[in-house]
Structure 1
Amino acid sequence: MSLARADQPDEDRTAETIKALDLALRVGEALLANGAGAADVAATMDSILRHLGLAGADVDVTFTALVVAHQESPDEPTLVRRRNVAQRDVDYEDLTRVDHLVKALLLDRIDRDRARDELAQITSSGHQRPRWAVTVGWGVLALGIAMLLGGGPLVMIIALVTSIAVERLQRLMTVGRLPSFYQQMAGGLLATLLAVGLAATPLPLDPSVVVSANITVLLAGLGLIGAAQDALTGFYITANARLLEVMLSTAGIIVGVSGGITVGRLIGVDLTLVPGAAGLAEAPWVLSGAAICAMAFGYVAYTPLRALLPIGLIAGAGEVIYSVLLAVGLGRPWAAAVAAVGIGVVAYGVAGRVRVPPLAIVVCGITPFLPGLSIYRALTLFTAGDSGGVVDLVTAGAVAIALASGVILGEYIAQPVRREARKLERRLSGPRLVGPLRIRTLKRDQKR
């Protein structure tokens, strides 16, 4: 649908072009700020511009800026528009609404001006989910991880309360505009100091489970999937930026937790992880814990409620695969990779049925497998002067890479990229975690 016709006056044609470029930029900003991969953002923006009659427009995506350029003819100057991307909390409700808006535009259900109005409403409106419920959701996420690691009822309650305290502290630091590194450091330190205080009491509990659960909570939603997708689809600058952000946030966790462990040692409280103390529990608890923490992260990330139960079921199924592979002697990274591939394969079909982007399904689905326990074990060994912690730290990194690359491979298997994608989209994108795969596919689905 071309909105800039050749028979229009130059001023009108330029105005129409600017409006189309602006819409594409604002859609790209909303997608990139909420965790979408650069390849998906570029392909979605290109689809919008082509649909609006700007087939020759160039799209450039980096981690912090979007640029679009269009030249009507060789004799006319190039129109260039740029928009900086302010990073914010992952919000899968906004991501889903923008994804639906793009599909409606490409199917001509809405025009460009209405799309601009609806996009402005999406990005400026709040959430129906109350803030206190989201805070409790972070606590439930820690409770699910504690259940997954074999903690008893008392440990699960303490993990819940500790995670709520960490979330409130980070929220205050966000208001103070402190960088995420310091927020993660403060969160890890607070969780560990609370565990130190519990270890000094006669309560019959393992505080290492509390710390491990909160490390996993702090790792959730750090952008591993986006970094892996950008690296695998050729957006190396954006991939490096995302990876650096993940590494800085993880380093903050390590600094905070190691500081808390050191304080514990100075006052005579040992938080060393006893082998098997935080091992996997019996099967029903394992499955329940995996499902609860995946659904809890989906809730705090504002994933639409209709998708939460499928996310829990997928995470539980992935935990079955993971546990079986560990039982037969496969290492943690390979077990995590195979489970992640399974999640990626299933997520594409499930996402279509519950009408959310596959990204929301896969990010929530891998939450139970994040290597919080390995990081904690490595830190306790380091603070005790044991270099064996290097092995656990390397294992944690391997598990993280396996999870991110595994779900992307699963999406490659699930989506017929080579058959369905147009040549341009083949260059811009691999499997789509956000945005329509192809306009023709959308129209075929609409007829169905």
Structure 2
Amino acid sequence: MLRICLLCFTALLVAFLFFSDYIILSVLILLLLVAQTVSLINYTNHTNRKIAYFFDAIKNEDFTLRFPEKLSLKSLEELNHSLNMLNTMIQDIHIKKQIQEQYYQEIIRQSDIGIMTINKKGHILFANKKIEELLSYRPLNHIKQLNQVDPDLYELFSKLMPFERKLVQLSNEREKKQLALKSTALALNKEELLLVVAQDIHQELDEKETDSWVRLIRVLTHEIMNTITPITSISESILKYYKSENEPISLQDFNKDHIKNTVRGLEVIKEQGGDLMLFVESYRSFLNLPPPDKTLVPAQKIMNKVKVLLEQESKNGRITIETIINPEEIELFIDEKQISQVLVNLGKNAAQSLGEQENGLIKITTATNSKGVKYIEVWDNGPGISPELIDEIFVPFFTTKKSGTGIGLSLSRQIMHLHGGNLIVHSVQPEYTSFVLSF
């Protein structure tokens, strides 16, 4: 305020002297006015430079800057106090963020799952110890380094797209690894990155494989024993007609009833043997499934075909069959014959589960999910599948029906695997059951 008052007084003095013809004196006072103006500008800029310096220090993460708080000017004292408080607050936030970042990084480093981030140029910005261990290379800086591990591995990473899932098998002289890779897109500081998560699932696959073999052997044993037991029992009964005390009986002891019972027993043995042959034949057909002959098929075409094939399952109009296609022009790259077989099998299963239920509904939907994956869903409002059976229904030859081989669902899943997709089931008792074919 004093500076501004002096400026005003000096300006008035310059004007007074100039108009009073004191030209030389007015010029000298004018120079004093200019000096006062420059001094005021420097004084004001000093505060601005102080604030600018403060923000530069914050930008460079320098929190040691402190401004004096005991000054003659109250306004500057308050400004310095506020800047110091702001500096302390930002320093506390920065320290907390550093501690939090170290905490999360330590979790990632100690994780049993491999994690890495890759930019568009293939540079690996972050890789934890686990992924370096899984990929047998350290340190990882660029995906080109994977070429030294396995050229196919480098090829896979160079073409890896967001939201993809891949299985990779790596082998060396010491061990074999089965890696499951999952990628996700993310953005950091306006840079597009690819987050890749890798996990060794070799042990899990071994456990699943063992579990699958146990289930399969259990079912096979059950089916074979059901067929062999009557054959053994009838054979023993027939044998008694021809032997007595380990000696063949004489012709005089043989009668017509023996012949009739023998013929009847042999017919049963033949029937049971035929059933066993059909069982083995179904097993052979399951193992010798041909690779799919895939073509681009309009969804509308396959939906119409399946609906016609399922019309006879409508139980005299008690079951409604609906087909939904969204969008209508969607096309599927599939083996039409094999996928039709899967859909008809699932549709028949749905109809059988509905039984004599009134207002039965089967919906077959073809659509694309939020990740761009095409799928077909077969849904019914039947009684559902019990949780105890959910894990068993895909086991070959397992069945709860009085008739049938029990390979329909396992065959359907095998067909989907050959298509590079999957078949999953979700059921809520007693509301609905849903089978989803994802491609």
* TM-score by shorter chain over 0.5: no
TM-score (norm 2): 0.20
Structure possessing the higher radius of gyration over alpha carbons: 2
- Which protein has the bigger helix share? 1
- Which protein has the bigger strand share? 2
TM-score (norm 1): 0.20
Q: Which has the higher contact order (CA 8 A, sep 6+)?
A: 1
